[in-house]
Structure 1
Amino acid sequence: MGAHSKGGTRSPVPAAAPVPVPDAGPEPGGPPRALPSRSRTGRRDRYFDTLRAVALVRVVTYHTFGWAWCGMVFPSMGIMFGLAGSLMARSLERPARTVLRSRLRRLLVPFWFWGLFVVLAMLVHGWLPGRQVVYWVVPLGDPPGDAWAEQVWEVLWYLRTYLWFVLLSPGLLWLFRRAPVPVLLLSLAPVSVLAFLWSPPDGRLGSALWDLSTYLFCWILGFAHHDGVLRRIRPAAVVTFSLAALGYGGWYALAHRAEFGTYDLDEIPLAQAYWSAGFGTLLMWAKAYFRIDFARLARLPRTDRLVAVFNARAMTIYLWHEIALVLAVPLIDRLWDVPAFERYLPLDSQWFLFGIGWILIAVFVLLCGWVEDVAARKRPRLLPAPPTPPEPRARRPAGRTA
Structure 2
Amino acid sequence: MGAHRRGGSSATAQPAAPGPDAADATETDLDSRPNPPVRDRYFDTLRAVALVRVVAYHTFGWAWAGMVFPSMGVMFALAGTLMAKSLERPALKVIRSRMRRLLPPFWFWGFFVVVAMLIHDWMPGWQIVYWIVPLGDPPGNAWGQQAWEILWYLRTYLWFVLLSPLLLRVFRLAPVAVLLLSLGPILVLHFAWEPPDDRFGSALTDLATFLFCWILGFAHRDGVLRRLKPFAVAALSLAAIAYGGWYAFTHQAETGSYDLDDIPLAQAFWSAGYVTLLMYAKEFFRIDFAWLTLPHSRLRSSGGTPIAALDHLVTLFNARAVTIYLWHEIALILAVPLIDQFWNVPAFEKYLPLESQWFMFGIGWILIAGFVLLCGWVEDVAGKKKPKLVP
Contact 2:245 2:270 in 1 (8 A): yes
Give the whole-Å Cα distance in 1 for the aligned partners of 2:67 and 2:354.
29
Matched residue, 1:30: none
| Alignment counterpart, residue 267 of structure 2, candidates 272, 276, 287 | 272
Contact 1:8 1:58 in 2 (8 A): no
Give the whole-Å Cα distance in 2 for the aligned partners of 1:170 and 1:383.
34
| Structure number with higher helix proportion | 2
Matched residue, 2:16: 5
Q: Which AA in structure 2 matches 1:360?
A: L
Give the whole-Å Cα distance in 2 for the aligned partners of 1:132 and 1:159.
16
Q: Which AA in structure 2 matches 1:149?
A: G
Q: How much does 1:6 deviate? A: 4.1
Q: How much does 1:7 deviate? A: 3.7
Matched residue, 1:310: 317
Q: Which AA in structure 2 matches 1:127?
A: W
Matched residue, 1:398: none
Matched residue, 2:291: 296
- Equivalent position SS for 1:293: coil
Deviations 1:110-163 (A, max 9, x none): 100000010011111111100000000000000000110100000000000000
Matched residue, 2:390: 383
Check if 1:353 corresponds to 2:364.
Answer: no
Contact 2:170 2:178 in 1 (8 A): yes
Give the whole-Å Cα distance in 2 for the aligned partners of 1:184 and 1:48.
20
| Alignment counterpart, residue 46 of structure 1, candidates 28, 41, 45 | 41
Check if 1:256 corresponds to 2:251.
Answer: yes
Q: Which AA in structure 2 matches 1:272?
A: Q
Q: Higher Cα Rg: structure 1 or 2?
A: 1
Matched residue, 1:69: 64
- Equivalent position SS for 1:141: coil
Matched residue, 1:120: 115
Q: Which runs of 5+ in 2 are unaligned?
A: 1-10, 23-34, 294-298, 300-306
Deviations 1:46-78 (A, max 9, x none): 000000000000000000000000000000000
Give the whole-Å Cα distance in 2 for the aligned partners of 1:151 and 1:319.
11
CA pair 339-364 structure 1, distance change in 2 beyond 3 A? same
Give the whole-Å Cα distance in 2 for the aligned partners of 1:4 and 1:355.
18
| Alignment counterpart, residue 371 of structure 2, candidates 360, 364, 367 | 364
Check if 1:322 corresponds to 2:333.
Answer: no
Give the whole-Å Cα distance in 2 for the aligned partners of 1:7 and 1:381.
27
Aligned-residue sequence identity (percent) comes to 72
| Alignment counterpart, residue 94 of structure 1, candidates 89, 109, 115 | 89
| Alignment counterpart, residue 111 of structure 1, candidates 103, 106, 109 | 106
| Alignment counterpart, residue 348 of structure 2, candidates 318, 341, 344 | 341
Give the whole-Å Cα distance in 2 for the aligned partners of 1:313 and 1:204.
28
CA pair 54-46 structure 1, distance change in 2 beyond 3 A? same
Contact 2:219 2:225 in 1 (8 A): yes
| Alignment counterpart, residue 227 of structure 1, candidates 212, 222, 225 | 222
Matched residue, 2:5: none
RMSD of equivalent CA atoms: 1.0
Give the whole-Å Cα distance in 2 for the aligned partners of 1:8 and 1:218.
13
Matched residue, 2:192: 197
Q: Which AA in structure 1 matches 2:166?
A: G
Deviations 1:228-274 (A, max 9, x none): 00010000110011000000000000010112210000000000000
Give the whole-Å Cα distance in 1 for the aligned partners of 2:378 and 2:361.
25
Q: Which runs of 5+ in 1 are unaligned?
A: 13-39, 385-402
- Equivalent position SS for 1:212: helix
- Equivalent pairs, count: 356
Q: How much does 1:297 deviate? A: 1.9
- Equivalent position SS for 2:239: helix
Q: How much does 1:288 deviate? A: 1.5
Q: Which AA in structure 2 matches 1:365?
A: V
TM-score of the pair, normalised by structure 2: 0.90
Give the whole-Å Cα distance in 1 for the aligned partners of 2:64 and 2:322.
25
Q: How much does 1:41 deviate? A: 6.9
Which of the pair has the greater relative contact order for Cα pairs under 8 Å at 6+ separation?
1
